[in-house]
């Protein structure tokens, strides 16, 4: 039984890890045999699976993090994530499906903060040993542009 | 007795419906004999009732939705709503008054996401048959411009 | 024992007071012998204590409010605060440490709403007589520019 407190703690950890740019800890929030997709809303609503980012194992997420940390961004910047209220969509014996909006803002050193991602996240979480992990995460973003922010995980 | 869980579920449904653009379901979140107002903060704080949008029955909300769905916007866009923490202001025998901030962002297909509404919502909810509904909703927005976003309900 | 409900009520009051610009009530959210700092993220993460704003007593906060209310801004504007989910970092016998993201938006009368602060708040709260108060609040903001919005308290 995965309760509300456990879900809150999970997302506190998940977004805290990303805000603090501890990217090497990010893949451990997923089960080994996971699905992670980032997809434009238009594709998602039309039933297409063509995604901007697609990973189908924790190993692919680890590869992605290694790629990110090697990427040089042209200017120093910070990302900060503002998740909306968490909705529990359904519960099964060993899993729970949730949905929440996500706003990501970016601040360049000497620039005004701006919104770089407006999205809704469709997640499926399971108890995996001693902690909750994502079995599936689909980040559906409102734009058709590929956001720069997606160099980092969402 | 309207508890916190019931309020959370109500707003999850309310904002989920609007984010998903299922506008025909929106009026059912209000009682038949409701008040719905959208008003600039300056007017509200001065005690004026002059509102940008004013409806005093569910029928008027239904009319409004029909008007919206006939309106052609010049470019495809998505709205997404980010409500702030819900404050319970007061409780009476059969109703509860709440207050929360609301941020609405807009994404045009090939543009950066931008904020189109910063507001505080003063709501009164009642148990109406088998579900909660709004008896009153006053959306007080921070600008004096009439936001484009108000073509759609807030 | 400071529970979740008490913390929620505290922050509802804190941010409601600021959103409503009841600045004279703001210092009472702090204990007499408090620390209040606003500091750029780069300084904070490097371990520097050099802060944009630094106060080490409630008296200094009262002075600050008096300064703010005497300051003439060149144009009327509203600020609205959107705190992210509250994380309880640790609990001790008489205090609790929390952390949450904070987005502050500004609306000028005839302009589009814009983000003026993206930050994370590191707070320590204690029971002080009949109410919770902040013993320490450190607002770590993502920019290196001194935000205009900091004329008002965060």
Residues 88-107 of A with CB under 8 A from C: 103, 105, 107
Q: Mean pLDDT over all residues of chain A?
A: 92
Structure tokens belonging to residue C121? 């708040």
pLDDT for B70 equals 78
pLDDT for C123 equals 98
C93-135 pLDDT tens trace: 899 999 999 999 999 887 889 999 999 999 999 999 999 999 9
Report which DSSP code applies to B72.
P
CA atoms of A85 and A83, how far apart (whole Å): 7
What is the pLDDT averaged over residues A95-109? 95
C10-51 pLDDT tens trace: 999 999 999 999 999 999 999 999 999 999 999 999 999 889
Q: Which of the four pLDDT bands, split at 50, 70 and 90, describes residue A23?
A: very high
C133-152 pLDDT tens trace: 999 999 999 987 776 667 77
- Parallel, antiparallel, or unpaired for β A53-55 and B114-128? unpaired
Residues 20-59 of C with CB under 8 A from B: none
C80-93 pLDDT tens trace: 999 999 999 999 98
Q: Measured between CA atoms, how close is C12 to chain B, in angstroms?
A: 6
What is the pLDDT averaged over residues B58-77? 84
Say if CB B96 and CB B8 are below 8 A apart. no
pLDDT for C147 equals 66
Say if CB A151 and CB A139 are below 8 A apart. no
Q: Which residues pair with B97 in a beta bridge?
A: B90, B124
Handedness of CA A35, A40, A41, A44 (dihedral sign): negative
ipTM exceeding 0.90, yes/no = yes
Helix (H, G, I), strand (E, B) or coil at B26: helix
Chain C environment of A82 (Cβ under 8 Å): 82, 84, 101, 103
Residue C44's H or E segment, with its range, is helix C41-45
pLDDT for C33 equals 97
Chain B environment of C112 (Cβ under 8 Å): 114-116, 143, 145
pLDDT for C116 equals 92
CA atoms of C143 and C42, how far apart (whole Å): 8
Cβ distance of A120 and B83 shorter than 8 Å: no
- Is A72's pLDDT higher than 70? no
pLDDT for A68 equals 82
Helix (H, G, I), strand (E, B) or coil at C6: helix
- Whether C80 and chain B come into contact, CB under 8 Å, resolves to yes
- Parallel, antiparallel, or unpaired for β C30-40 and C131-141? parallel
pLDDT for C58 equals 97
Cβ distance of A78 and C120 shorter than 8 Å: no
CA atoms of A52 and A60, how far apart (whole Å): 14
pLDDT for C41 equals 93
CA atoms of C101 and A15, how far apart (whole Å): 10
CA atoms of A119 and A49, how far apart (whole Å): 16
pLDDT for B50 equals 87
Tell me how many degrees the CA angle A87-B151-B134 measures, rounded to the nearest 5: 50
Chain A environment of C144 (Cβ under 8 Å): 109-110
CA atoms of B48 and A120, how far apart (whole Å): 37
Cβ pairs A/C, distance under 8 A: 54
């Amino acid at each position: 039984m995965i309760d509300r407190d456990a879900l809150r703690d999970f997302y506190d950890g998940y977004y805290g890890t990303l805000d603090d740019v501890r990217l090497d800890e990010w893949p451990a929030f997923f089960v080994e045999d996971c699905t992670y997709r980032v997809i434009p809303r238009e594709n998602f609503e039309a039933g297409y699976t063509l995604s901007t980012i697609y990973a189908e194992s924790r190993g692919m997420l680890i590869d992605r993090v290694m790629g990110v940390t090697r990427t040089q961004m042209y200017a120093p910047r910070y990302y900060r994530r503002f998740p909306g209220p968490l909705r529990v969509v359904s519960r099964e014996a060993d899993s729970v499906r949730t949905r929440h909006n996500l706003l990501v803002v970016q601040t360049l050193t000497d620039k005004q903060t701006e919104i770089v991602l407006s999205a809704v996240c469709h997640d499926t979480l399971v108890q995996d040993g001693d902690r909750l992990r994502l079995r599936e995460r689909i980040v559906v973003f409102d734009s058709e542009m590929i956001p720069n922010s997606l160099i980092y995980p969402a």
